[in-house]
Structure 1
Amino acid sequence: MTTIQDVARHADVSTSTVSNVLNGRADRMRPETRQRVEAAIEALQFRPSKLAQQLKTGHTPLLGLLVPSMSNPMYGFIAREVETFAQDRFGLRLLIGSTYRDAAKEAAFFEDMLSHGVRRVIVISSLADERHLERAVERGMSVMSYDRRATLGQKTGVGHVTPDNFEAARLAADHLIAHGHQRLAFVTVSGMTMSRSDKIAGFRAAAEAAGLSKSAAVLDGGTLDEYGDSVIAEVGRATGLQLAADPKRPTGIVALNDLMALGLMAGLREGGLRVPQDVSVVGIDGLFLAALSNPGLTHVQMPIREMAHAMVEAVATDGAAPREQLFSQVRLVERESVAPPPGPKKSPSKARP
């Protein structure tokens, strides 16, 4: 097995010079020296020992990613963007775990990662209480939180990226209003995370601006079980079935996210209604399944790729990149799940004698 000493002898330099090249500290050496070392590394096909690096630095070239549930395809999409950028840009591998939005589970993951030398972590949680994240930062970890903003006036070492959830829900509701809907609903689940609160505020702002506050409702689909996000489509389906049986149901619905919207459409269809002829539905996320549903789901596309890259950049550069970012580039993608509301049913005309 080729060692760093073999590389140093081949390049006629010291082992510390080779180490500087391997660790990106070649800016102060002569270019020809760096080129000799790189040529020796290539000629000998030297690969530095990850274990030796960890023993020396106490760190591993790993990036931790904690998601609520790997059963939610949206988090798979985010994980792919995080992993691809982290590997291509910084040479970091991804270590992933599901927390089910449970602070105790998140804290336990942090303990495990600390013990294995992982010092860079991205968390998708939206939990209001971040004290366990702050404790991890105090112990030397670089932590970014997704889809959550910092508490007003509070400065911690935890970084945040979030899409403009308020604007996303406002866009979705405005789209329904523009099609003539006056009986509106925002369908969500129990539990008020920051992102859900912002979406509800955006939905209500659109309704108020259109003079529809009294006919716009926030509907709670119920409490999720321990698997949380992985069953949210089923919660949407159950809610759709209930709405189908309600003669006073809304004609235009904004769903918490795309998975819930897809479940809603399935429940409405099972209840004998048509989307969009009887009820229109808009989702929020950017899930690829939206284009494959029947009818295609109109949704608000979030800037997932840009946020994923920003989080990786922040944890990998030790704070050199911005750690508090709001991404406002949300956009509506129109498909077939929205149409004007159904008109009043005409009574059958009497046959002439």
Structure 2
Amino acid sequence: MGSNSSRIGDLPGNEHLKKFSGTESLSENDPFWNQLLSFSFPAPTSSADLKLLEEATVSVRRSLVENNPRTGNLGALIKVFLSRTKELKVSAECQNHIFIWQTHNALFIICYLLKVFICEMSEEELLLHFTYEEKSPGSYSSDSEDLLEELVCCLMQLITDIPLFLFSLLSKKHNKVLEQATQSLRGSLSSSDVPLPDYAQDLNVIEEVIRMMLEIINSCLTNSLHHNPNLVYALLYKRDLFEQFRTHPSFQDIMQNIDLVITFFSSRLLQAGAELSVERVLEIIKQGVVALPKDRLKKFPELKFKYVEEEQPEEFFIPYVWSLVYNSAVGLRWNPQDIQLFTVDSD
């Protein structure tokens, strides 16, 4: 890895990887990380690709396993990733592709190492690799758990925009089906012999899903706005998605609160001036949450979901989730002989 490495075959002798896995402790502020993360070979897209990667990095992994509890370099890499994620939105807006590319590479290395460590270590041994401090052998600090928790929380924040991304896809699908229905109707006027596709049913299904997503967003805003500054940020960033639904008869009622929130916080951002950083925008949003009168948000019936849970649901869900990881994660390779939680398909 590094700016001079673009082939998996080069990895065993790569100087950047040797330094990362060696005996020298690296600060998260070290310029070294820019060099390490500037690699360009494609990420594995199959189990076979990942097997080649694992075989090429055996010596590096062994060195890291031996030295990392003392150097804390894996923890430093995670901190580098965490600091970079704070600037991802700005980088996307500015089309800073190099920054995004390096952040992606950091996450790839972290995911790859975690996968390997999970396969080869106990939980106690794994925790030793997430913090560095003077400690007695076999002990670990709660800081390691804090770093893991921060990493998980960061990844959860990164996917905050995913529901809006799915909403964007639904909006495009809705517009496409509506356009097809319109064209089909026009065509039927000139030819009565051609049967019309049932676009009305497709539109009905799509609109039901769109309304459900709008109801979930609305519930987050009306019941826990103060816990969702990132959602407000995403709504402001993707405000154009909601334009077409403001006057749609199926969504007018549920759009009132969303429209109010977008308008309210947009006004506060305009008052704050231009060229605001992500941190400043989030700060303004958090201040605005306190200032927004709660009675201005229209109350809707509380969303309720019912499900039946077995006495020990983990007996089903843990093997099931791991089976999904094993069968669906194309870029992750797991040794079938080590699988004990579920039965591996013979094919």
Instruction: With the length of structure 1 as denominator, give the TM-score of the two structures.
Output: 0.27
- Return the structure number with greater strand share: 1
